[in-house]
Structure 1
């Protein structure tokens, strides 16, 4: 009788545990090995194209129907750097509001807090004083910024100052600040932008800058704790070589048309495989604002119909860019698509192809010839062909 009671109790506890913890099935990497997932990662599956969303509206928070729309399409999102500042007064308040809103409709969704490691964007209460109007009143903060060695003026781009990662006091402040933002907002981790540390401004100290950035990211990962996600933007790049060991996920931000060359795409796919084999996630981000069609026409970026032009272009270019992602996609590789970082730049755009049944890949991609630029790959419900030289593609759904 007693043993039966104990067994039933253990069984009940096990069933309760299983109901609270999502156990992901083992996913095969394209080389045949198994992806080693971590319990704090988002849910992943191949039912449809795995999507990552990253968005912000500096003027307001999301409407309930906008939360629902995004939550239906993704388990992995980030609230961008200035979101909700106009309505709530500070970006960390915007992030906190949206974390709660998304968790209410989808408790398992993973939401990241944004912070920059190079640019001193003044959108949160933590860095609101990094402005031309205020910075001289805060000498401690001013010491965190890079000066021009000749003029002694603060380096800046469009009135945004540059953080000095070589300053250990700055690194300590920055780590504590990001961790505070993550904790306050209730986020599941952090997206860290600009991993370069402005190494090119101090080429004589380039290696020191890279090592300091690695030191800072290591400290952040430790401060956040083992159950939080650290996503680095272009942390696969050479300038971020000391950062890569400490991230859980890497974004391939194609911030220029040259980063979508046939050679670069092939390198991306190789990196996606390497990253997956190390148990890390990938975001394959495409912004059609850098597509050659838009770049060739400066008027594309101007006027009230800017978003209409980009929305049309994004529809026209989707098959090619979608195919480029699918050729290299591995377990826990996500696709992000649009034409910028604001909410109005594609996050609420309906792309039916991204909701079509996809299914798991049947194997690695195939290069039709050793010197050619045509690639194919088979999924359970789709056949993908792309020519990265002519920039043509065809996805056949079945």
Structure 2
């Protein structure tokens, strides 16, 4: 039988690592990018096409699925994998970020968070125990602890209090997960490091999480408006505060150059809505930088989105056709643009894994930034 959770590092280059996470539903190659399937779908793309792009794992979201269609309903229908037709691993976000960012009239207490749905205004409570219960009902393979996120611009006192509460919630999350019976025997749980941009707070958070014990550790509270330089400044120390023999997951990141820089700093896992959201709005990622296919200059461009890309979209359709589809509001335009972007991200991850394995991560990263139009070392 496949292991519940087995992380193996096969090569390192500086702080960068490549390896695998073996789980019962499949092996995840790291560094890994997880397409976001917030509401039980990676928007505009069929699961088979997500898999064909190279994705080993996707992300679902507790907050959105608890509101619609409801975790209990998904459980009655066989769990999230069967419901959406994805048989590989799924990581579920705990819902903490969405509660803070999408909900009106949010009330926080030591027990948890009471909020009104952004869909219909109905009142709900989410706390560590309920978040873990929802993730168990969904059948998540990697469960995230419930935490409290505050902006990096908050006062030091607010940041310290939120970090401390998140660590208390992490222990409650761990206890609730361990009480999950058969699900806990086949799934994994990650803790989330908090502490904004403060090295001491981050260190205290890491120590608390390590004392509790998790299968993997996320760096939370970044990519929320602080800017790339500040994020990289935090990543210069935060991953090193976490166990070297466990996966390190940077939540909600990001742009291709964010990912390259974070891999150089020791991050193993990523998720972001950017490739799918950008695809639906007409932006394509290419090795020479992003392009807006709506631009008039593409109206008679017979070339592919990215001449260096082997994806089915670049092999089959021109920039001119995609320009027409997107300008006309055709659904196929969003589908094809999104499919290309997913391939771009997965090909980038494959290149990063290869560069680390061959101990040329610095040369690859500098070359990527040069071709992408960024200064060396950005």
What's the TM-score, normalizing by structure 2?
0.54
Query: Does the alignment pair 1:215 with 2:199?
Result: no
- SS of the residue aligned with 1:78? strand
Query: Does the alignment pair 1:230 with 2:230?
Result: no
Counterpart among 131, 134, 137 of residue 181 in structure 1: 134
Query: Does the alignment pair 1:249 with 2:249?
Result: no
Counterpart among 39, 49, 55 of residue 69 in structure 1: 49
2-structure distance, mates of 1:178, 1:85 = 9
Counterpart among 332, 356, 364 of residue 361 in structure 1: 356
Corresponding residue for 2:325?
Answer: none
Q: CA deviation at 1:250?
A: 0.5
Corresponding residue for 2:34?
Answer: 52
Contact 2:142–2:189 (CA<8 Å) still a contact in 1? yes
Identify unmatched segments of 5+ residues in structure 2.
114-125, 284-334
Of residues 174-183 and 26-35 in structure 1, the stretch that sits farther from structure 2 once superposed is 26-35
**Change in CA separation of 1:260 and 1:29 when aligned onto 2, cut-off 3 Å:** same
Counterpart among 246, 256, 262 of residue 279 in structure 1: 246
RMSD over aligned Cα, in angstroms?
5.1
1-structure distance, mates of 2:129, 2:168 = 16
User: What do residues 254-303 of structure 1 show as CA deviations (whole Å, max 9, x unaligned)?
Assistant: 33342421x5404314433553614233236335xxxxxxxxxxxxxxxx
**Change in CA separation of 1:27 and 1:322 when aligned onto 2, cut-off 3 Å:** same
**Change in CA separation of 1:187 and 1:364 when aligned onto 2, cut-off 3 Å:** same
Contact 1:253–1:285 (CA<8 Å) still a contact in 2? no
**How many residues get paired?**
284
Query: Does the alignment pair 1:258 with 2:226?
Result: yes
Whichever of the two has the greater Rg, that structure is 1
Matches within 5 A, 1:21-36: 26-30=9-13
Corresponding residue for 2:270?
Answer: 335
Query: Does the alignment pair 1:377 with 2:362?
Result: yes
Q: CA deviation at 1:63?
A: 8.3
Contact 2:99–2:106 (CA<8 Å) still a contact in 1? yes
**Change in CA separation of 1:256 and 1:211 when aligned onto 2, cut-off 3 Å:** closer
Identify unmatched segments of 5+ residues in structure 1.
1-16, 124-156, 168-172, 288-317, 366-375
2-structure distance, mates of 1:166, 1:193 = 9
Q: CA deviation at 1:114?
A: 3.6
2-structure distance, mates of 1:286, 1:205 = 23
Corresponding residue for 2:81?
Answer: 99
User: What do residues 19-67 of structure 1 show as CA deviations (whole Å, max 9, x unaligned)?
Assistant: x999876512335999897654862336xx621123324xx86689522
What's the TM-score, normalizing by structure 1?
0.52
Q: CA deviation at 1:377?
A: 1.0
